[in-house]
Amino acid sequence: MTSFIHELNGVFHAVCPLDCPDQCGLLLHKEDGKIVKVEGDPQHPVTKGHICNKVRNMSERIYDGNRLKYPLKRIGSKGEGKFTRISWEEALSTITSCWKELIEIDGPESILPYSFYGNMGRLSAEGMDRRFWNLLGASRLDRTICSSAGSVGYQYTMGGSLGIDPEDTIHSKLFIFWGINAASTNMHQIALAQKARKQNGAKWIVIDVHKNQTGRMADWFIPILPGTDSALVLGLMHILFAENMVDQEFLQKYTVGYEELRKHVIQYTPAKVSEFTGVPVSDIYKLARMYGQTSPSFIRIGNGPQHHDNGGMFVRTVACLPALTGQWLVKGGGAIKGNSAYLAPNTESLQRSSLLKNRHTRVINMNLLGEALLTLDPPVKSLYVYGSNPALVTPSSNKVRKGLEREDLFVVVHDLFLTETAKYADIVLPATSSFENTDLYTSYWHHYIQIQQPVIAPYGESKSNVDVFRLFAKEMGFGDEAAFAETEAEMIAGALNNPRNPYLEDINYSFLVEQRYVKAKVKQLFPGTLPTPSGKIELYSEKMKQDGYPPLPTYIPLVNHGDHYFQFVPGPNHNFLNSTFSNIQKHVELEKELRLHMNRVDALAAGIEDGDMVRVWNSHGECEIKVAVGDNVLPGVVVTQGIWADEAAWSHEGLNSKNFLINSLTPDRIADMGGGATFFSGRVNVEKILTS
């Protein structure tokens, strides 16, 4: 890419870098070297020119006056937010001399990287950084905050993150959105469902604990008690077997354990399931018959029900459902939990895991950051944060902040903004936005790959993740052992060359640059062989038994922790992306305000009225939130949406509370599988704040 593109005006192609399944193709309109408009690229085969409101307003974020322009050094106390400008030279030498000393005295495991997918670019999020950490021998981070419980659960049943091609869902006649707020979090799946509704009269069912944007669009909304979904699936299986709505031929040919499953689900009677889930017996029958008799039927498995103590088992269980009715053989039938396996790059080439000298290097679960910083022995002495904002997004965030306050912890944060986490840093480094870099993007929902090339110049003195790790490697004297000098194009070429992924065959760097949107060579899953131990769908899993789980789908109730009355489900919102945008005035205005949704029965009993401020608390923390009273949650459940920046919440008109730290209330228990987070399995008490 020539450097003069930075000054050029016109319309340029781009990729949405956010952690969103849709991974839209974008067009950036530039005037005077600046992006003045962001719109969808009509040529993208799936996203077709439509993008969300958040990203249509992306330039507000790129050019926000608070964006970091140069490196900073802390001059106030930790968390206070007082910094002074320093040069890159000073920043790099301060950081690397601290690390060299730590390695000498405490060993490299005293250093912990903390990152997630603030930018989904493969090179930024899991490329040059991994080479550096592997060679350094730092403590390893288990990146479990998002979907790991469900991914492990799905893998037990299906062998990997393999679902159907979302483009095929235009043929579906029944959509079940199971614990996914797709209207906000996967808008193009909604667009495809809308097409199917129009063309085939497809029906939409939404199963959720909150009648939110998506629930309101459904033909049938089924409210369910949090963490009880496995029981509902087992009840459906009970009826499908009992009423002979199963596809015997498919079961025989492509599954193992259906006879065991048939006997096992007899115990899950609709009456019992209704008690667990709060779904009426007649609705369980109605749902089972609709599912059993409609083809093609498609289940979009969301992230919500797997952010629970029993989340892995839920996904394992629901993933069995399409096999019972043989839906995997029908175009538009089946399920999607995630599709990342189809676009899996060559991670060895990208990350050089062979550089890990000691395979016993300790692994730290990112959901337990607070605990790790406060109690690990030997302690973490330096934390390097990039592409993530743990002071807001990580469970039990009061604990995280207490850990970040440690005077003997050397913290570095690389971000576009002085985030809540950055306020605890000793050194802050400015990051480029994705539109300033070259990177490779692979969706985890549709099957297209894209490349981003720089469209604008780096903002101020900001640098990309790739460049920063190159500089660290140089300062640490690493030479080129891990190919730190490789260009972005070389890294992408290496990543695409994955002999173990047949779906990527013949897709290379220049082809991608030329074609822009390249689809992996994906075929229907069946007829075919899965990467499970048996090669079939494992309704009974010997592997699960070996790993200490029940081998058949099972309902295990949530951990009932403490005597707090309400189940508390704090999900994401429409106009932010996790904490991203929660510091941007425009997006805060679009989102308006944070509300605690409560059923009117509960409100009446507690003397709470719509619009009252309430104190929401448990043993981890407390918040003050304005209540929305209504019927969109079941009694005994309260729901919030969005991860709000500390300051956005204070400064926004009409909001008079400082306690908006939602994750101060969430448990740091670990889910049943994959070390997953349990954001939605917490409990709280709620009481009205009396104003005199």
Site string for ligand SF4, 172-211 (x = CB under 6 A): ---------------x------------------------
Size of the residue set binding ligand SF4 (CB under 6 A): 12
Cis peptide before 527 (omega within 30 of 0): yes
* Distance between CA atoms of residues 692 and 686, nearest Å: 19
As a whole number of angstroms, the distance between CA 565 and CA 684 comes to: 6
Residues within window 12-71 making contact with ligand SF4, judged by CB under 6 A: 16, 18, 20, 22-24, 51-52, 54-55
Of 386, 459, 549, 555, the one binding ligand MGD by CB under 6 A: 386
- Which single residue brings its beta carbon nearest to Mo ion? 146
Q: How far apart are CA 454 and CA 120, in angstroms?
A: 15
Residues 608 and 639 sit within 8 Å (Cβ to Cβ):
no
Q: Considering only residues 92, 102, 111, 180, which one is a binding residue for ligand MGD as defined by CB under 6 A?
A: 180
Is there a cis peptide before residue 635, judged by omega within 30 degrees of 0?
Answer: no
**CA atoms of 309 and 578, how far apart (whole Å):** 21
Residue type present at position 433: S
Per-residue x/- marks for ligand MGD, 564-583, CB under 6 A?
-----xxxxxx-xxxxx---
- Residue 237 is given by DSSP the state H
User: Nearer to ligand MGD by C-beta: 664 or 685?
Assistant: 664
> What residues does 113 pair with on adjacent strands?
384
> Between 417 and 456, how does the x/- string for binding to ligand SF4 read (CB under 6 A)?
----------------------------------------
Cα separation of 306 and 301, whole Å? 9
**Torsion sign, CA atoms 172, 532, 20, 588:** positive
Contacts with Mo ion, 146-185, as mask; x by CB under 5 A:
x---------------------------------------
Residues 557-586 touching ligand SF4, rule: CB under 6 A, are: 577
Minimum distance from CB of 117 to ligand MGD (Å)?
6
Tokens standing for 479? 């030479």
637 binds, among ligand MGD, Mo ion, ligand SF4, none (CB under 5 to 8 A by kind): none
Looking only at the bridges linking them, the beta strands covering 174-178 and 439-442 are unpaired
DSSP string, 440-460: EEE-SSSSEEEEE---SPPST
First and final C-alpha spacing in the chain: 64
Q: Provide the token pair at 619.
A: 């043993």
Enumerate residues 655-684 that contact ligand MGD by CB under 6 A: 662-663, 666, 679-680
The angle formed by the CA atoms of residues 197, 200 and 204, to the nearest 5 degrees, is 35
The reply on whether position 368 binds ligand MGD by CB under 6 A is no
Q: Is 40 in the site for ligand MGD (CB under 6 A)?
A: no
Residue 229 binding ligand MGD, by CB under 6 A: yes
How many Å is the Cα radius of gyration of the chain?
25
β-bridge mates for residue 505, sequence order: none
User: Which spans of this chain sit near ligand SF4 (rule: CB under 6 A)?
Assistant: 16, 18, 20, 22-24, 51-52, 54-55, 187, 577
User: Which spans of this chain sit near Mo ion (rule: CB under 5 A)?
Assistant: 146
User: Which spans of this chain sit near ligand MGD (rule: CB under 6 A)?
Assistant: 19-20, 116-119, 124, 145-147, 178-181, 184-185, 207-210, 212, 224, 226-227, 229, 302-305, 308, 386-389, 393, 414-417, 419, 431, 434, 465, 569-574, 576-580, 643, 662-663, 666, 679-680
